Structure formats: structure tokens, C-alpha cells
Amino acid sequence: MEKTMRKGLLQSIDLYEYILETSVYPREPAPLKQLRIATANHPWFVMSTAPDAGQLMGMLLKLVNAKKTIEIGVYTGYSLLLTALSIPDDGKIIAMDINRETYEIGLPIIRKAGVEHKINFIESQALPVLDKLLQNKENEGSFDFAFVDADKDNYWNYHERLLKLVKVGGLIIFDNTLWGGTVTQPEEAVSEHRRVSRGFIIEFNKTISTDHRVEISLTPLGDGMTICRRIC
Ligand code: SAM
Ligand code: CA
């Protein structure tokens, strides 16, 4: 069994394996597969976006004709490369991460795939980058899509800023919103390293469910992915 398969939320590993083997891996673009394999032995490989969630994300990017996107949390670049492969040749991604070293693991594969020119990687905390974008009025409502996959305590801060940057009808996706299934477990049963972010995720899920500026769907793919569509 490949390492990625341990990450699913489904009760049956066999069922998750079935989904991956029958409908995800056979259609996974070759560069993404290479990136997944290049990441598999990295100590933090579990951070990589789950391929089943990635497959849906690729389809959503195409459904909204995404051309200008934001990515918060790059790691080795699975979701970044997926986005770069899904948008047109003149599309642009502003990608931010505090760690350039991990981005550089995936960079040769991104280069080989011929999509590096679409990526503006910024090594930085994400919040100040978003705030800087917002200083220029022209950026308001100019993005089609954003993927958020970084520090969970800032999810709401990212949401408020992205709601200004993403256009009405555009999508914002928040990853890991079921946090390994711990959102329904009693706090004392959750391992210490997961406990703090679990609290932020629970709070985020509660708050976003009452946010009428977006339509939402919390999909149980990968580690849970909340898809938000800006409606006003
Ligand atoms: N989307 C990536 C993928 O598909 O491989 C996985 C991202 S990983 C779960 C989270 C990343 O967020 C890490 O690379 C980490 O360095 C970055 N990160 C954490 N806090 C951050 C912050 N405040 N601003 C920007 N990046 C941050
Ligand atoms: Ca994630």
C-alpha cells in the first residue's frame, strides 16, 4: 500500500485504495505522479494534498475557468503543480510559503512540466502578502480561485482577506477541515500535536457555516476540504 493511502477519512482503507486505484491514479498527470513519488520519502510527506482531493480541485479549477489564483501553503508543490497544470498557459498563481526549501524539492518537476512561468513563489508568511495585495485596489475581486493549506489558526484571517481578493462566483478552498477525523473526537482522545489546530478547525467550521457571503460544501475527500463559492 502506498503511503498516501493512510491519510483518507473513509472507514475502510480498502475502499479508499479502490477509489485511488480505479479513478484517481490512472488519470493523474505524469508530472503530479512524479512529484508525489519525489515527496513520499520526505519526513513531512503527509502534508501533501491527497490525490483524490486534488482530482476534484483540478476539475473545479477548470469549471470556473480559473486563470488567476492564490495558493497559501506550498510544501513540495503537489497542489501548486496541479493548479499550474489546470489553468491556461497565460494563467498566474501567487504562491506563498515560509519554507522555500521544500518548494525546491518539487521545482525541477514543475520546470520539466513546462509550467514554472505561471508561478510567482513568495517566501513569506502569507498574511502580509495578502495585505500587500489588498493595498492595490486593482487586486480586489480579481482572482478566480484560492487554495488555503497552511497554518490553521489563520484560516479565518485568510478567509476575510480572500473574500476581498476573489471575485464573486470565484472559489476559495480550505484544506484539512476534518483534521484527521478529530473534529468529532473528545479532546482528551486527540494526540497533543493535533489538539491545538483541531480547536481552530472546529471554530472555523462553525463560523463559516453561518457566513452568508459564501456557499459552502465540506467534502470528506482527503483530510476534508471546504469548498466556498463567493456569492456577494
Ligand atoms: N498544499 C501543499 C501540497 O499540496 O503539498 C501542502 C501544504 S503543507 C500542509 C503547509 C505548508 O504551509 C508548509 O509548507 C508550511 O511551511 C506552510 N506554512 C505554514 N505556516 C505558514 C504561514 N503562516 N504562511 C505561509 N506558509 C505557511
Ligand atoms: Ca493539506
pLDDT of residue 1: 42
| Cα–ligand 2 centroid distance for 153 (angstroms) | 14
Ligand 1 pocket test, pick from 151, 179, 197, 223 with the greatest ligand atom count within 8 Å of Cβ, gives: 151
* Prediction pTM value: 0.96
How many CB atoms within 10 Å of residue 120? 10
Domain boundaries of the chain, sorted by first residue: 3-230
Residue 204 alpha carbon to ligand 2 centre in Å: 15
- In SS3 terms, the chain reads as CCHHHHHCCCCCHHHHHHHHHHHHHHHCCHHHHHHHHHHCCCCCHHHCCCHHHHHHHHHHHHHCCCCEEEEECCCCCHHHHHHHHHCCCCCEEEEEECCHHHHHHHHHHHHHCCCHHHEEEEECCHHHHHHHHHHCHHHCCCEEEEEECCCHHHHHHHHHHHHHHEEEEEEEEEECCCHHHHHHCCHHHCCHHHHHHHHHHHHHHHHHCCCCCEEEEEECCCCCEEEEEECC
Instruction: Give the separation between CA 53 and CA 15, rounded to whole angstroms.
Output: 15
User: From ligand 1's centre to the CA of 220, what distance in Å?
Assistant: 20
Ligand nearest to the CA of 40: 1
Distance in Å, CA 43 to ligand 2 centroid = 15
User: What's the pLDDT score for residue 123?
Assistant: 98
Phi, psi torsion values for 222, nearest 5 degrees? 55, -120
> Could you tell which of 49, 122, 149, 197 is best to mutate to test the pocket of ligand 1, judged by most ligand atoms within 8 Å of the CB?
149
Could you say which ligand is closest to the alpha carbon of residue 47?
A: 1
pLDDT, residue 4, reads 47
| CATH level 2 (architecture), domain 3-230 | 3-Layer(aba) Sandwich (3.40)
What's the pLDDT at 12? 84
Cα 90 to averaged position of ligand 2 atoms, centre (Å): 26
Place of cell 475557468: 65
pLDDT at position 9: 75
Per-residue pLDDT, 3 = 46
Q: 93, 219, 223, 199: which is closest to 149 by C-alpha? A: 223
- In degrees, to the nearest 5, what angle opens at C-alpha 73 toward C-alphas 72 and 78? 115
Digitized pLDDT (tens) for each residue of the chain, 232 residues in all: 454 445 567 778 888 999 999 999 999 999 999 999 999 999 999 999 999 999 999 999 999 999 999 999 999 999 999 999 999 999 999 999 999 999 999 999 999 999 999 999 999 999 999 999 999 999 999 999 999 999 999 999 999 999 999 999 999 999 999 999 999 999 899 988 899 999 999 999 999 999 999 999 999 999 999 999 999 9
Q: How far apart are CA 167 and CA 122, in angstroms?
A: 22
Per-residue pLDDT at 7: 55
Mutate which of 57, 98, 148, 196 to test ligand 1's pocket (most atoms within 8 Å of Cβ)?
Answer: 98
| ipTM summary value | 0.99
| Contact (Cβ atoms closer than 8 angstroms) between residue 51 and residue 4 | yes
> What distance, in Å, lies between the first and last C-alpha atoms of the chain?
44
